[in-house]
Chains A and B, each alone.
Chain A
Amino acid sequence: MVEKRLMYGNHALVEGIIYAGCRFFAGYPITPQNEVPEYMSIRMNEEGGVFLQTESEIAAINMLFGAGAAGVRATTSSSSPGISLMQEGISYIAGADIPVLIINVVRGGPGLGNIAPAQSDYYQATRGGGHGDYFTITLAPNSVQELFEFPRLAFELAEKYRNPALILADGLLGQMMEPVEFTFEPIDPKTLPEKNYALTGCKGRERRVVRSYDLRSGKLEELNWKRYKKYQEIIKNEQRYEVINDNDADLMIVAYGTCARVAAATMKMARDKGLKVGLLRPITLWPFPKDKLAELGARINNFLVVEMNCGQMIDDVRAATRFRPQIHFHGRPGGGVPNPPEVLKKIEEILGGAQ
């Protein structure tokens, strides 16, 4: 019998991190994710883990660099301005091939912006974010259940490919209450395999060095190509998505996170009116589910990208569908959240015009 509990998204996320066998958390307070460190401080205390409230997001990400390099599962959580501060550290972590988990509960930007839910960090999350040639594996949950499950998935992917992973959420998901099924047994960190790169002291082995630099002529280029190959592997193996009603669709909505929930409600309203609307929900934003979109793009003529930003995912959808179908957009930047009636109106405009 699977245990089921009604939980806040942010609390489910914390449980998901604990269940994933992570016992190291460092972070700095920022709205709208403060419940994460607050609840985490209690849970880590109960579990005998490490909880550090740091002097800045910069310190937090570097503590993760240290903990990750020491071979343990380590997490930080923040929101957009804080994630910007972390970019230096994320670049070093990616350059040193260290797996860590970073949570971004995205808020309106740029600058201090506001504290309302947003998706305007899509570019930052899917293009690497900091300096240099790198990517972070990026997961976009759309339910409290996924907030619980994705930390484990993120750690598994991060460790499999030795790469930082990012969970891109927003304030709406964090504040939402939904039933959560505890679909797996908590992982005991002691049962996780030792890492062959971990800094533990060199007793009984050669010394190890964790670093992101190499000044020897041509070596950094080699290292970048090696990492490029790793990224190609990830792109090949790890595209994740959910697709609904694509068989007869005249229009596919492409949306992730909170927008995917809005899109699902809109799809139902549209279907009730006889409009053949489907939904493609990217679960991994990087790697982007381009193979599925290529297939859909070959037979469906209209795509509607719905995002809480000015249209950052459009180019990815356009390229993935090989520039064949019409790509439409409905967005609400700066903390605005689209609602189903306004998305339906947009669909009616598109399909009405097409008929």
Chain B
Amino acid sequence: MKLIFGRPAGLTEVNQRYCPGCGHGIVHRLIAELLVELDIRERAVGIAPVGCAVFADEYFNCDMIQPPHGRGPAVATGIKRARPDCILFSYQGDGDLAAIGTAETVHAAARNENITVIFINNAIYGMTGGQLAPTTLPGMRSTTSVQGRDTGKQGYPIKVCELLAGLDGPYYLERCALDTPKNIIRTKKVLKTAFQNQINNKGFSLVEILSMCPTGWGMTPVQSKKWISEVMSKYYPLGEFRNRAKEEK
């Protein structure tokens, strides 16, 4: 018997401490598989965010750094410019990337910095206990919007791919989701493109992934998955928002 699917060498042996059904684990595994498949594990430097995925520095089997909240793209820039042969991936949640770190995200994209940003959008602050995120949907409940997000008082969500697509800088922007095996396979393909762009010195790639947070959403994992399909991906449409490789052809 031969193992055909199993824990990739891009993950350490540490068992992840995420809640049952959390999307982080799926994305970690996809990245870890690509570190091996693209033969970049020994060149990679990963960036763990502040948030639930802060422990990513224990989970990825490559060099890792854990910077201040939201500053991943700036730290990645520093490492990439100092060591251009390294492959940088900044793993960030919605609070990290689209609230406190908005400036770092936008400017790294505008510079077309040659890094890969992986953006986990689960529309909630997971680690701090389910507060309103910059991507919380209108009407969606959180611990700081218990009646649902009131756009009159709390404004509107930030659609990161659409926002960055307004810039000339970024090379590749795509939004995908973890709700079905098909979409997970698609997500891996998109992540692969994002890493290949960096390997080929093309510049800034950002992959936005709609991911479930059953605990923060007050749903079962199965309900969460369905909520992505039925609600979240309607508000945040999946697809490619920028692909300069196609424009170059």
1/0 contact string of A179-210 vs chain B (CB within 8 Å): 00000000000000000000111111001111
1/0 contact string of B112-133 vs chain A (CB within 8 Å): 0000000000000000000000
Is A201 a contact of B78 with CB atoms below 8 Å?
A: no
> Given the complex, which residues of B lie within 8 Å of A211, measured CB to CB?
48, 57, 64-66
Complexed CA–CA distance, A279 and B106 (Å): 51
Q: Does A228 contact B (CB under 8 A)?
A: no
- Chain B binding surface SS class: mixed
Residue of A62, A89, A209 contacting most chain B CB atoms (<10 Å)? A62
Is B79 a contact of A213 with CB atoms below 8 Å?
A: no
Is A207 a contact of B86 with CB atoms below 8 Å?
A: no
Complexed CA–CA distance, A213 and B78 (Å): 20
1/0 contact string of A44-56 vs chain B (CB within 8 Å): 0000001010111
Q: Does A320 contact B (CB under 8 A)?
A: no
Q: Quick check: which of A65-73, A156-164, A282-290, A338-346 contacts chain B, the rest being far away?
A: A65-73
Indicate whether A65 sits within 8 Å of B86 (C-beta atoms), given known contacts A201-B42, A211-B66: no
* Interface residues on chain A, number (Cβ under 8 Å): 39
Is B85 a contact of A54 with CB atoms below 8 Å?
A: no
Instruction: Report B103 CB to chain A, min CB distance, Å.
Output: 5
Chain B 19-71 residues near chain A, CB threshold 8 A: 41-45, 48, 54, 57-58, 61-68, 71
Is A201 a contact of B66 with CB atoms below 8 Å?
A: no
Is A59 a contact of B82 with CB atoms below 8 Å?
A: no
Is B68 a contact of A62 with CB atoms below 8 Å?
A: yes
> Given the complex, which residues of A lie within 8 Å of B75, measured CB to CB?
62-63, 65-66, 69
Q: Which residue of A lies closest to B40 (CB)?
A: A201
Is B57 a contact of A209 with CB atoms below 8 Å?
A: yes
Instruction: Report A250 CB to chain B, min CB distance, Å.
Output: 50
Is B66 a contact of A65 with CB atoms below 8 Å?
A: no
Is A213 a contact of B66 with CB atoms below 8 Å?
A: yes
Q: Does B77 contact A (CB under 8 A)?
A: yes
Q: Which residue of A lies closest to B58 (CB)?
A: A209
Q: Does B186 contact A (CB under 8 A)?
A: no
Is B65 a contact of A201 with CB atoms below 8 Å?
A: no
Instruction: Report B191 CB to chain A, min CB distance, Å.
Output: 19
Q: Which residue of B lies closest to A89 (CB)?
A: B68
Instruction: Report A57 CB to chain B, min CB distance, Å.
Output: 11
Q: Does B190 contact A (CB under 8 A)?
A: no
Is B81 a contact of A69 with CB atoms below 8 Å?
A: no
1/0 contact string of B206-249 vs chain A (CB within 8 Å): 00000000000000000000000000000000000000000000
Complexed CA–CA distance, A203 and B87 (Å): 13
Is B103 a contact of A59 with CB atoms below 8 Å?
A: yes
Is A203 a contact of B104 with CB atoms below 8 Å?
A: no
1/0 contact string of A212-241 vs chain B (CB within 8 Å): 110000000000000000000000000000
Instruction: Report B97 CB to chain A, min CB distance, Å.
Output: 14
1/0 contact string of A86-100 vs chain B (CB within 8 Å): 001100100010000
* Interface residues on chain B, number (Cβ under 8 Å): 35
Is A209 a contact of B64 with CB atoms below 8 Å?
A: yes
Complexed CA–CA distance, A188 and B85 (Å): 20
Complexed CA–CA distance, A64 and B78 (Å): 6
> Given the complex, which residues of B lie within 8 Å of A208, measured CB to CB?
63-64
Q: Does A26 contact B (CB under 8 A)?
A: yes
> Given the complex, which residues of A lie within 8 Å of B48, measured CB to CB?
211
Instruction: Report B84 CB to chain A, min CB distance, Å.
Output: 10
Across the interface, A66 reaches (CB within 8 A) one of B58, B62, B82, B106, namely B82
Is B86 a contact of A199 with CB atoms below 8 Å?
A: yes
Complexed CA–CA distance, A225 and B86 (Å): 33
Instruction: Report B47 CB to chain A, min CB distance, Å.
Output: 9
Q: Does B178 contact A (CB under 8 A)?
A: no
Instruction: Report B113 CB to chain A, min CB distance, Å.
Output: 10
> Given the complex, which residues of A lie within 8 Å of B64, measured CB to CB?
199, 207-211
Q: Does B188 contact A (CB under 8 A)?
A: no
Is B81 a contact of A199 with CB atoms below 8 Å?
A: no
Question: What are 30 A-B contacts with C-beta separation under 8 Å?
Answer: A26-B78, A54-B74, A55-B103, A58-B74, A59-B107, A60-B74, A62-B74, A62-B78, A63-B74, A63-B78, A65-B75, A66-B65, A66-B77, A66-B79, A66-B80, A67-B81, A70-B45, A72-B83, A74-B78, A74-B82, A89-B68, A92-B68, A199-B64, A200-B45, A200-B83, A201-B43, A201-B62, A207-B61, A209-B65, A209-B66
Interface residues of B, Cβ cutoff 8 Å to A: 41-45, 48, 54, 57-58, 61-68, 71, 74-83, 85-87, 103-104, 106-107
Q: A55-B107, A63-B74, A202-B42 are in contact. List 7 more A-B contacts (CB 8 A).
A: A26-B78, A55-B106, A66-B65, A66-B67, A70-B79, A200-B45, A208-B64
The 6 closest A-B pairs by CB, nearest first: A66-B78, A63-B78, A62-B74, A211-B66, A203-B42, A66-B75
